[in-house]
A and B are shown apart, each in its own frame.
Chain A
Amino acid sequence: MRAEEKTHVLLVGMRGILGGIVREIVAQEPDMEIVGELGAMSEDRATGRLARLGVVVVRSDDEPGSVEDVRDLLGRHPQVTILTVQGDGRHGAVYRLRPEKAFIGDLSPASLMTAIRAGAASRALSA
């Protein structure tokens, strides 16, 4: 697999055993590459590294205002997908901000309804 086909991953705040686990999991995937690590999301303001990335994996527990950080980051780099991992390792969330086009094909009453339901389900998922 060529290097440019790999998903570039930046790890943020991935410390301790949890950080080690996430690092090992990503590192063992042949189509992913860890291109850097930051101690906190705010450090990116200095480096601008996120602009070239596909996915940012962020530990989200003890960073005050982490939701605001995510909103701010997506505002500056809308192409980035952010995956937050709760500090205890139990839950996570994906944040994306991008227009998406999914081709429906020949429209029919059934495909139209399916598309509407899929759109509603997507909205419910992100709520």
Chain B
Amino acid sequence: MVSVLVVAEIRLYREGLVYALGNRGELEVVGTAQSGDSAALAELQPDVVLVDVATADGLATVQSVVGTVPGAKVVALASPDSDADVIALAEAGAVGYVPRDATLADLETVIMSVARDEALVPPRIAASLFRRLANLAADRSRLETDVHLTSREEEIVELIDEGLSNKEIAQRLSIAVSTVKNHVHSILDKLQVARRGEAVALLRGKHHPARPSAPPGRRYAAR
């Protein structure tokens, strides 16, 4: 038996899905919630959380559910939107997607699939996900080929990652604040990003345990 919790702001969906899914043999609806931060989520620990993301903050709701019940599989129930929207849902942590114009039988099939750790997505969406992966790989490849930070710049990125300000970095490295600013400017320029946080996020791949340590001046992999 797969336990399901329904998260939907709209009452007809929230309570109606209990009627609709409750009659299906393999599923048990263990509760409902109006939002992703409901205490019921952590309390009931369902196998699958069905989230109606058709409302304005649907993406945030998925993220909230994933944070609250990391062990649960999240299925998004959404209006049929662009592929980019579906990819955003996947990046937020959803492992299944059912458009609102699907049938209840389709919904049941997807819930059972994700409960078995399988993904069941329309071929068009699957193609978009593969394209997305290819683009991410291309970005990583570009960084490995094109971006080269000096050892001092690397050092500064690591200190930014620790949360230090420019002034604190200057004190730590015994250099002038203006010198730190110059290094930061150079880092942002090389990585083609606008903010320090983006640079850190982009270069966090260098701390990946699978990558061997490299001498100063090594080339970076993107996240």
List B residues at the A interface (Cβ < 8 Å): 10, 12-13, 16-17, 19-20, 23, 54, 77, 98-104, 107
Binding site secondary structure of chain B? mixed
Query: Which B residues lie within 8 Å of A25 (CB)?
Result: 16, 19-20
B13 touches A89 (CB 8 A): yes
Given the known interface contacts A15-B101, A17-B77, A17-B100, the answer about A22 and B10 at a Cβ–Cβ threshold of 8 Å is no
Residue-wise, chain A 12-50 has the 8 Å CB interface mask toward B (1 for contact) of: 000111101110110010000000000000000000000
Binding site secondary structure of chain A? helix
List A residues at the B interface (Cβ < 8 Å): 15-18, 20-22, 24-25, 28, 85, 88-90
Given the known interface contacts A17-B77, A17-B107, A89-B10, the answer about A22 and B16 at a Cβ–Cβ threshold of 8 Å is yes
Given the known interface contacts A17-B98, A20-B20, A21-B19, the answer about A88 and B10 at a Cβ–Cβ threshold of 8 Å is yes
With the chains together, A16 CA to B98 CA distance in Å? 10
B5 to chain A, nearest CB (A): 17
A16 touches B100 (CB 8 A): yes
Query: Which A residues lie within 8 Å of B102 (CB)?
Result: 16-17
Extra inter-chain contacts (18) besides given A20-B103, A28-B19, A90-B10, CB under 8 Å: A15-B101, A16-B99, A17-B17, A17-B20, A17-B98, A20-B20, A20-B107, A21-B12, A21-B19, A21-B20, A21-B104, A22-B16, A24-B20, A24-B104, A88-B10, A88-B54, A89-B13, A89-B16
Query: Which B residues lie within 8 Å of A89 (CB)?
Result: 10, 12-13, 16
* A28 and chain B: residue at smallest CB distance: B19
Residue with the highest number of chain B CB atoms closer than 10 Å, among A15, A22, A24, A85: A24
With the chains together, A16 CA to B99 CA distance in Å? 8
Residue with the highest number of chain B CB atoms closer than 10 Å, among A15, A17, A24: A17
With the chains together, A22 CA to B16 CA distance in Å? 7
With the chains together, A105 CA to B77 CA distance in Å? 52
B16 touches A21 (CB 8 A): yes
A89 to chain B, nearest CB (A): 4
